[in-house]
């Protein structure tokens, strides 16, 4: 990654931390899940409203560090309008990105590519993936709290 791109990504993450998008309980949510990252203390609730297999609305509530909050904010933004299968595929590509198995591909991943730098900070990977693990639990209708440990 060039340092320009790194700066841009850092700015995007800070912006989503300071001004989280979709930080609210979704009216008529039909999928809900809770996640917890004991390593950092991040807690999150994900709310989804699925209509005929498509994410019509997505939101989150919780308290956590900058990375976990920004990740939830960006995730809920990119999810809207996606099918359940597309959301699962996004989970996989995000996971590969932050664990260093794939290079950032903004064309396919959108803003989620901004979290590529997290791979250099193993402690932060769980912060970045918490919202995504919780999303997957919500999609699968699991009511247990997701823990990253
Ligand atoms: Zn964290």
CB 118 within 8 A of CB 67: yes
Please tell me the distance from the alpha carbon of residue 3 to that of residue 85, in angstroms, as a whole number.
34
Query: Under 8 Å CB-to-CB from 125, ≥6 apart: which residues?
Result: 98, 99, 118, 119
On the CB side of 133, CA atoms within 13 Å amount to: 20
Distance 129 CA to ligand 1 centre (A): 10
Convert the pLDDT of each residue in 83-114 to its tens digit: 999 999 999 999 999 999 998 888 888 899 99
CB atoms near residue 113 (< 10 Å): 22
Distance 125 CA to ligand 1 centre (A): 9
Distance 121 CA to ligand 1 centre (A): 11
Distance 39 CA to ligand 1 centre (A): 8
Backbone torsions φ then ψ of 131, nearest 5 degrees: -60, -35
Predicted confidence at residue 33, as pLDDT, reads 96
Query: What ranges make up the beta strands (E) of 5-145?
Result: 31-37, 42-51, 54-63
Predicted confidence at residue 149, as pLDDT, reads 67
Distance 124 CA to ligand 1 centre (A): 6
Convert the pLDDT of each residue in 23-50 to its tens digit: 999 989 999 999 999 999 999 999 999 9
* pTM (whole model) above 0.85: yes
Closest CA to 115 of 68, 58, 59, 46: 68
What Rg, from alpha-carbon coordinates, does the chain have?
14
CB 17 within 8 A of CB 69: yes
Please tell me the distance from the alpha carbon of residue 22 to that of residue 42, in angstroms, as a whole number.
17
Distance 51 CA to ligand 1 centre (A): 31
Tell me what percent of the chain is helix, strand and coil, each rounded to the nearest 5: 50, 20, 30
């Amino acid at each position: 990654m060039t340092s320009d791109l790194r700066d841009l990504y850092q700015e995007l993450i800070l912006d989503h931390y300071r001004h989280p998008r979709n930080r609210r309980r979704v009216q008529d949510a039909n999928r809900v899940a809770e996640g917890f990252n004991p390593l950092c203390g991040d807690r999150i609730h994900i709310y989804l409203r699925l209509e005929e297999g498509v994410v019509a609305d997505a939101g989150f509530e919780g308290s956590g560090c900058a990375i976990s909050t920004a990740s939830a904010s960006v995730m809920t933004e990119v999810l809207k309008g996606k099918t359940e299968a597309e959301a699962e595929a996004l989970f996989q590509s995000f996971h590969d990105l932050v664990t260093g198995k794939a290079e950032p591909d903004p064309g396919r991943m959108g803003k989620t590519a901004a979290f590529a730098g997290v791979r250099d900070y193993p402690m932060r990977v769980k912060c970045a993936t918490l919202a995504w693990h919780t999303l997957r639990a919500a999609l699968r209708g699991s009511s247990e709290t997701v823990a990253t440990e």
